[in-house]
Amino acid sequence: MAETDIYARQTFGQKLGLGRSPALLVVDFVNGFNDPEILGGGNIGAAIEATVPLLSFFRAKRLPVIFTRIVYAEDGSDTGLWCEKVPRLRDLTEHARASQVVEALSPQRGELIVRKTQASAFFGTTLASLLAFRGTDTLVVTGCTTSGCVRASVIDAMSNNIRTVVASDCVGDRAIEPHRANLFDIGQKYADLLEAREIMKAIEA
C-alpha cells in the first residue's frame, strides 16, 4: 500500500473545479525572487516562463489579472517578525528593482497590483473584498514560492470560500523538495492542480 493512500481513504483531494468567473493571481514574480543571489533559485525562472502564455491567455479573454508584490517602507517602519526571520525581505521597497514584477510579466494598465507585507495575498490587504465586489469566484494561482507566499495565499483563498486552481507548472520555489511536497499538500487540501494548458482548455470549454 502506498504511503499516500491514506489521503484517498480519508477523502482528501476532491476536485473543486472552475467557477463562472475566474481571475489570474500572479504571486510575487518579482526580480528579487527570480535572482538566486537575492531570494530566488530552484525552478522559479522556469515557472515564470511557463506563466507567460497563461497570462497572455487571460489578457486575450479579458479576464481579471492580479499581481502581488512584497513592499516595505523605505525606513523599515512597517517591518515585523517576518523580516527578522528573513532580513533580506527588508530590501523589497516600493522603488527597489528587486521588488518590481519581472519584465516578462510586466503589469498592464488596469491590472490590480496588491502590495503586501506578509506571505498571503489576503492578509492585511483589500484583495478579498475586491474579489467579492467583482464577482470573482475562482482564482488561478501562479507565482512563488510554492512553500511560502503561494501556499499562504491559497489557504486564505480557501478560507474565503474562493475556488482555487494552482497552475502546477507556473509555481516555483528556491528548492525543489519543498516545492514538490507543498504542491502535493496543496492539491490534497486546498486547491485543484492543473497545468497551464489544462487551465486554458477548461476555460475555453
User: What amino acid positions are annotated as catalytic residues?
Assistant: 149
How many alpha carbons lie under 13 Å from residue 131 in its C-beta half-sphere?
A: 27
The beta strand positions in 36-131, using DSSP E, are 65-70, 112-116
178, 172 in Cβ contact below 8 A? no
DSSP state of 146: I
CA distance 186 to 183: 5
Q: Which residues does 155 contact at the CB level (< 8 Å), separation at least 6?
A: 120, 190
Other Cβ atoms less than 10 A from the Cβ of 106: the count is 11
The x, y and z cell numbers of residue 92, run together, are 523589497
